[in-house]
Amino acid sequence: MSIFCRIDDKHVPLYRVVWVSATPHYCGEEDCVREGSYEIRLEQGEAVWASLAERDEMLQRLEAWHGDMDVPDDGEENW
Ligand SMILES: [Zn+2]
């Protein structure tokens, strides 16, 4: 499987993802262009902004990727 996930206009390598936002961005700033987008934080303090569908795709790929590495599944959500 690919180790990349397409987010916006970028192919993001799964191994660079630090965390994935569970809720859409809201900071209250009137001119915020990220409102409603989901932040995907990368190493080095970088971030990409995903739609809900892209965020879900990323989560699925991350889970599948970790599954490939034989991480024991204790049936719990560790996100
Ligand atoms: Zn904002």
Q: What is the pLDDT along the chain (79 residues), one digit of tens a residue?
A: 789 999 999 999 999 999 999 999 999 999 999 999 999 999 999 999 999 999 999 999 999 988 876 656 566 665 5
Residue 39 lies in a domain: yes
Residue 26 lies in a domain: yes
Residue 78 lies in a domain: no
Q: Which domain holds residue 16?
A: 4-68
For the purposes of burial, counting CB atoms within 10 Å of the CB of 12, is it exposed (0-12), middle (13-18) or buried (19 or more)?
buried
CATH number at residue 51: 2.40.50
CA of 66 to the centre of ligand 1 (A): 31
CA of 30 to the centre of ligand 1 (A): 8
Q: What is the percentage of the chain residues whose pLDDT exceeds 90?
A: 78
Mean pLDDT across the chain: 90
CA of 41 to the centre of ligand 1 (A): 15
Specify which residues 12 forms β-bridges with. Answer: 5
Dihedral of the alpha carbons of 36, 42, 44, 48, in degrees to the nearest 10: -40
Number of domains in the chain: 1
pTM over 0.95: no
Answer positive or negative: Cα dihedral of 60, 62, 66, 71.
Answer: negative
Residue 11 lies in a domain: yes
Residue 34 lies in a domain: yes
Residue 59 lies in a domain: yes
